[in-house]
Amino acid sequence: MTTSAAPTTASDDVLRRSREAVAGISTGVLIDGTWTEAASGCRFDVVDPATEEVVATVADGGPEDAARAIEAAGRAQKGWARTAPRERGEILRRSYELIMARQDELALVMSTEMGKPLAEARGEVAYAAEFFRWFAEEAVRIGGDMTVSGDGRTRILVSKEPVGPCVLVTPWNFPLAMGTRKIGPAVAAGCTMVFKPANLTPLSSLALADVLVEAGLPAGVLNVVCTSKASSVVGPWMSSGIARKISFTGSTEVGVRLLEQAAQHVMRSSMELGGNAPFIVFEDADLDVAVEAAMTAKMRNMGEACTAANRLFVHRSVAEEFSARLAERMGSLTVGHGVAEGTQVGPLVEEKALAKVEELVDDALARGASVRCGGRRPGGRGWFYAPTVLSGVSPDAALMSQEIFGPVAPVVPFDSEEQVLEWANDTPWGLVGYLFTRDVDRSFRVSEALEVGMVGVNTGLVSNPAAPFGGIKASGLGREGGRAGIEEFLETKYTAVPRG
Number of amino acids touching ligand NAD (CB under 6 A): 27
Contact window for ligand NAD (CB under 6 A) among 34-42, 226-234, 331-339, 408-416: 226-234
The values of phi and psi at residue 386, to 5°, are -70, 140
Helix (H, G, I), strand (E, B) or coil at 332: coil
Instruction: Evaluate the CA torsion angle 248, 252, 256, 261 in order and state its sign.
Output: negative
Q: Residues of 42-58 as b/e, b for ≥16 C-beta within 10 angstroms?
A: ebbebbbbbbeeebbeb
Stretch of 76-84, 113-121, 270-278, 283-291 contacting ligand NAD, by CB under 6 A: 270-278
Strand 432-436, strand 429-430: pairing: unpaired
**Cα 367 from Cα 369, distance rounded (Å):** 6
| CB of residue 171 to ligand NAD, shortest distance in Å | 3
Among residues 207, 234, 450, 454, the one that binds ligand NAD under rule CB under 6 A: 234
Site for ligand NAD in 417-456 (CB under 6 A): 431
Q: How far is the CB of 230 from ligand NAD (least distance, A)?
A: 3
Options 106-114, 124-132, 141-149, 271-279: segment touching ligand NAD (CB under 6 A): 271-279
**Which of 71, 105, 113, 272 is flagged as catalytic?**
272
Q: Is 272 a catalytic residue?
A: yes
306 binds ligand NAD (CB under 6 A): yes
3-state secondary structure of 16: helix
**Taking the complex as a whole, how short is the minimal distance between the CB of residue 470 and ligand NAD, in angstroms?**
7
Which one of the spans 17-25, 195-203, 356-364, 370-378 is the region binding ligand NAD (CB under 6 A)? 195-203
CA angle (368, 372, 376) in 5-degree steps: 85
Element (H, E) at 373: strand 370-373
Answer for which of 8, 111, 173, 301 binds ligand NAD (CB under 6 A) is 173
Distance CA 414, CA 418 (A): 10
Nearer to ligand NAD (CB atom), residue 245 or residue 372? 245
Binders in 472-491 for ligand NAD, by CB under 6 A: 476
Q: Which of residues 71, 124, 403, 488 is near ligand NAD by CB under 6 A? A: 403
Axis crossing angle, helix 103-114 with helix 118-138, rounded to the nearest 10: 120
Among candidate residues 266, 234, 161, the one with its CA nearest the CA of residue 494: 161
Least Cβ distance, residue 155 to ligand NAD (angstroms): 40
E strands within 25-72? Answer: 29-31, 34-36, 43-48, 53-59
Identify residue 241 by its one-letter amino acid code: G
- Using the contact rule CB under 6 A, the part of the chain among 32-40, 166-174, 320-328, 382-390 near ligand NAD is 166-174
The correct pick among 257, 265, 367, 445 for binding ligand NAD (CB under 6 A) is: 257
Return the number of the residue (250 or 485) whose C-beta is nearest ligand NAD. Answer: 250
For every residue of 464-489, which 3-state class applies, written as one string? Answer: CCCCCECCEECCEECCECHHHHHHCC
- Residues contributing to the site for ligand NAD (CB under 6 A): 169-174, 196, 198-199, 230-231, 234, 249-251, 254, 257-258, 272-275, 306, 403, 431, 471, 476
**Which residue numbers are catalytic?**
272
